[in-house]
Amino acid sequence: MQKVGVALLGLGVVGSGTYKILIGQHDKIREIYDIDLTVEHVLERNAEKIDALGIDRSIASTDIENVLKNDDIKIVAEFFGGIEPAKSFLVKCLLAGKSVVTSNKELVCKHFAELEAAAAKGKAGLYFEASCVGGVPIIRTLTDAMQGNDIREIHGIINGTTNYILTRMADEGLDYKGALAAAQRLGYAEADPTADTQGYDAAYKLSILSSLAYNKHVPLSEIYREGIDKIGAEDIAFGKEFGMTVKLLGISKNIDGKIEARVHPVFIKDDHPLASVKGSFNAVHLNGNNVGDIMLYGRGAGDLPTGSAIVSDIVFAAGKSAHKRYNFFKNKLTSKDFVKDFSSEYYIRMKVTDKAGTLSKISGIFGKFGVSITTVLQKPPTDDSGIVSIIFITHMTHEKAITKAIEAIGSLDGVNEISNLIRVEG
């Protein structure tokens, strides 16, 4: 029987969930995997959290040295979040030969090279399944189940907060502010929701997933990012008329060796597998050259779903005599290796004065920039202002072309407002 000591750095939501799973699944893990996992130390300053979980205060402290000097501790699970002190503590643990398990997507995204270098030097393991999509085993799928494939595309709902907000808007007709307030009341969104609603959280995850999928470092700086705060109830209603649902997606593609990576709202057809993913659930759709399409679905956050991924990594790490090394960050790409002028279909909503010639002028500018229109929908006026909403959906076109066309259209006499532009994915 192999005895493996574990240290927990923090007893927040996920840290507490992980402790509960380690205790609750202890006997099963010992029986099936022949590993006796014991919590040897906890780093936590809040005594109430320690007592609430029934942890002996003698194994709790606020000093990382108590973890480093304890030879019984083989694996350290981190729950602090953010960059510091998490990075400094984990580098020390890795150099000391203690494997690290973390759900800290920002840290892994921004400082993977430093963490992996410390892990290699200390002959320790770096495990981060829980950093992306909570309890859904996407990291293990990419690294241990897709060896027979070149992964060509990733499309993912990888942020539960934004998916919850957009679901409430679609299903109940709430506007953005109302849906956000509901998410905050339920604890799905923070008081400052910027990391989620502006796409930062999803971009961290897409950087990690893309780097693993293509074995090339896809840094945060090369990911196009746009949030959901401009999505209006009108857009969702018009999308329904076209049989489409709006989602915040992380999208990356490997196109002839060049990487395209972006996070932004997207209209997808209602029959697309991702369209039915509602609430705070997450899903990732992969395409491999041999396996074809695969989709993984489940809860992307929460104490027990994320704790489940943490414990999976702990058991996985405990069973390894030699740990996997990652070299994707050594395959450094230049800006030329990333697709900036990506292609998409586009939904464009604008408000115009309802008079003869306006639509013709708009169509002329689209044609000037090579933008072909598949659908035009003009809504009747809702008051006596003479202003109407027009919705265009384009054929596949380039980002630069649509940007130039919209800029020119916005300056036309009779065009009161370019209300929104949302990309459409097949």
Q: How many H-runs (helices) and E-runs (strands) does the chain carry?
A: 15, 17
Q: Exactly one of 92, 205, 216, 247 is catalytic; which is it? A: 205
**Residue 64 is assigned to a structural domain of this protein:** yes
Characterize the bridge pairing of strands 60-61 and 35-43.
Answer: parallel
β-pair partners for 37? 4
Average confidence score pLDDT of the chain:
95
| pLDDT for position 254 | 95
Quote the CA–CA distance of 255 and 153 in Å, as a whole number. 9
Mean pLDDT of 373-390: 85
Domain presence at residue 40 = yes
Taking residues 194-199, what's their average pLDDT? Answer: 96
Nearby residues of 275 by Cβ (< 8 Å), 6 or more positions away: 245, 247, 268, 269
Domain-embedded: residue 315:
no
Contact (Cβ atoms closer than 8 angstroms) between residue 102 and residue 108: yes
Task: Check pLDDT > 80 for residue 381.
Answer: no
Span 77-117, pLDDT tens digits: 999 999 999 999 999 999 999 999 999 999 999 999 999 99
pLDDT tens sequence across 24-45:
999 999 999 999 999 999 999 9
| Structural domain for 376, as ranges | 343-425
Residues 231 and 107 in one domain: no
360 lies in some domain: yes
Strand, coil or helix: 246: strand
Residues 369/356, Cβ–Cβ less than 8 Å: no
Give the tokens for residue 422.
Answer: 């949302």
In a domain, 335, yes or no: no
What's the domain count of the chain? Answer: 3
In a domain? residue 123 = yes
- Give the pLDDT score at 382: 72
Other beta carbons less than 10 A from residue 224's beta carbon: 17
Nearest to 337 by CA among 221, 258, 256: 258
Tokens encoding 79: 């729950």
CATH code at position 101: 3.40.50.720
Q: Assign residue 389 the CATH number of its domain.
A: 3.30.70.260
Q: Check if the beta carbon of residue 263 is closer than 8 Å to that of residue 203.
A: yes
Find out whether 289 and 307 touch, Cβ atoms under 8 Å.
no
Q: Are residues 161 and 267 in the same domain?
A: yes
- The CATH number of residue 247's host domain is 3.30.360.10
Residues 178 and 255 in one domain: yes
The pLDDT of residue 151: 97
CA–CA gap between residue 246 and residue 267 (Å, rounded): 4
Q: Which of 20-24, 332-336, 397-401 has the lowest mean pLDDT?
A: 332-336
One domain, residues 236 and 160: yes
**Cβ neighbours, 10 Å, residue 45:** 11
Is 125 in the same domain as 145? no
pTM of the model: 0.95
Q: Are residues 23 and 109 in the same domain?
A: yes
The verdict on 34 and 166 lying in the same domain is: no
Based on the residue annotation, tell me whether 92 is a catalytic residue of this protein: no
C-alpha to C-alpha distance for 200 and 373, rounded to whole angstroms = 32
**Cα distance between residue 75 and residue 262, in whole Å:** 34
Place of tokens 């196009």: 224
The C-alpha atoms of residue 426 and residue 421 are separated, in whole angstroms, by: 16
Is the domain of 123 the same as that of 60? yes
What's the confidence (pLDDT) of residue 354? Answer: 83
Rg (CA), the chain: 24
Q: Are residues 28 and 143 in the same domain?
A: no
358/253 same-domain check: no
